[in-house]
Structure 1
Amino acid sequence: MSKKTDELLKQFGADDEPQKEHSLQENAKERALHPDHLNAGTAFDWEEMEAYKQELERMDREGVGRSGPAKK
């Protein structure tokens, strides 16, 4: 890099951030640290996940022994 480029980078703070590695291993580690945000699966998987979450919420409200709406 030229001297002017280095000066501009320092001026705008671009050198302050360490470079992150973008390898598959590093990406996997990052995903493992944040398991709340899933970004995989088919549309059917997501529909089943939403139905499961709704059933858990219903069970919290009404109790385990009661059945929910009739399934088709």
Structure 2
Amino acid sequence: MTSAGLDVTAPPYHAVDSSGRKQESLFVIGLQLASVQWGTAIAAEAGAPLGAGSRTLLDADAIAGEILTRTVAA
């Protein structure tokens, strides 16, 4: 996804370098995704209502899942 902010892939949001290549070991999460996600200024926080931080939690889960999958495969 190209935007005014950081360039990222679709979820799990790998950073994309200036040559357009996905950076396999670099993920973007939270407020840094504000240019491709509306409402990320309200990130996950302890005690927040379920809907307030759910997007950030889902992103974190997807990133963790990919890292763990790579670790197990290696």
TM-score by length of 1: 0.26
Higher Cα radius of gyration: 1
TM-score by length of 2: 0.25
Higher strand residue share: 2
Higher helix residue share: 1
